[in-house]
Amino acid sequence: MSENNFNSGELNYLNTLAAGLVHEIKNPLNAISINLQLLNEDLQDQDSERDRKMSNRVQLLQKEVGRLDHILSDFLRFAKTPVLHFEKCDINGVIESVLDFIGPEAMQNSIRILKSFDTTLPKCNLDSSVIKQALLNVILNAQQAMPNGGELMVRTYQNGENVFIDITDTGVGVQENKIDKIFQVYYSTKKNGTGLGLPTARRIIEENRGTINIRSEDGKGSSFLIKLPVNYKPEAK
């Protein structure tokens, strides 16, 4: 299922165009940021009521400029089409390193991590570094869905020519009428979320010729099922 009507060539062109525009905006934004900083330093030396008010305004502007810069950087990361390096990849190992990474914070939040790995899983022909990014995005969401603790279950298995990764949490879940939205760019229900985590994960997985689907029950938790091909052979260019 796809929500846009562009073919991949057109999409690449639009991405390049948009990334160029973002760069053009980022440069003057940088200049604004530096000058606001200098202005604020000047105002800090004065101590009239008027200067304090101005300094507050300048700080507010600095914050907003910072936010804009953050949004643009996130967009650039999303729009960048990475060159994929396919190699034999140990999926269980990749998941293990993501779980190691989030482990300390999960423990702090009383999240129990349960692993059920198929140790006979074949190595898959994938770009392991981008797949790791995709898995991290999904696993971070699972963690963020359980602010009061819960269980994160990660299972791997093989079925025919595909390897499956099931990431299940006992968190807040997704309302049925919101399920279609969660893979949309910029859809977020979080205070500081950019809404690019899942669209990025899906794009990466699809570039590796896989799929990602969600099953969720509002209030009970969510399950993300990722399917990846064992033997995908990218066409030589």
Ligand X SMILES: Nc1ncnc2c1ncn2[C@@H]1O[C@H](COP(=O)(O)OP(=O)(O)OP(=O)(O)O)[C@@H](O)[C@H]1O
Spatial separation of the C-alpha atoms in residues 122 and 231, rounded to whole Å = 10
Stretch of 40-48, 110-118, 126-134, 181-189 contacting ligand X, by CB under 6 A: 181-189
Using the rule CB under 6 A, which residue among 182, 204, 205, 228 binds ligand X?
182
Q: What's the min distance (Å) between Cβ of 201 and ligand X? A: 7
Which pair of structure tokens corresponds to residue 2? 């796809």
Q: What's the min distance (Å) between Cβ of 160 and ligand X? A: 27
* 197 lies in the site for Mg ion, by CB under 5 A: yes
Q: What are phi and psi of 163, to 5 degrees?
A: -110, 140
| Closest by CA position to 45, among listed 56, 55, 35 | 55
* 150 lies in the site for ligand X, by CB under 6 A: no
Neighbour tally for 111: CB within 10 Å: 23
Using the rule CB under 6 A, which residue among 165, 172, 226, 228 binds ligand X?
172
DSSP strand pairing (150-159 vs 162-169): antiparallel
- Strand (E) or helix (H) holding 204: helix 197-207
Q: What's the min distance (Å) between Cβ of 172 and ligand X? A: 5
65/172 with CB nearer ligand X: 172
135/172 with CB nearer ligand X: 172
Neighbour tally for 176: CB within 10 Å: 10
Using the rule CB under 6 A, which residue among 65, 131, 135, 142 binds ligand X?
142
Spatial separation of the C-alpha atoms in residues 44 and 47, rounded to whole Å = 7
65/198 with CB nearer ligand X: 198
Q: Which residues within the stretch 84-123 sit at the binding site for ligand X (CB under 6 A)? A: none
Neighbour tally for 120: CB within 10 Å: 7
Spatial separation of the C-alpha atoms in residues 87 and 234, rounded to whole Å = 11
With 0-12 / 13-18 / 19 or more C-beta atoms within 10 angstroms meaning exposed / middle / buried, residue 154 is buried
Which pair of structure tokens corresponds to residue 222? 């969510």
Stretch of 76-84, 105-113, 169-177, 226-234 contacting ligand X, by CB under 6 A: 169-177
CA distances in angstroms from 112 to 28, 140, 177, listed in the order given: 46, 14, 29
* 168 lies in the site for ligand X, by CB under 6 A: no
- The 126-145 site mask, x for binding Mg ion (CB under 5 A), equals ---------------x----
Using the rule CB under 6 A, which residue among 171, 212, 226, 228 binds ligand X?
171
Tell me which residues touch Mg ion (CB under 5 A).
141, 197
Tell me which residues touch ligand X (CB under 6 A).
137, 141-142, 145, 169, 171-174, 182, 187-190, 193-199, 222
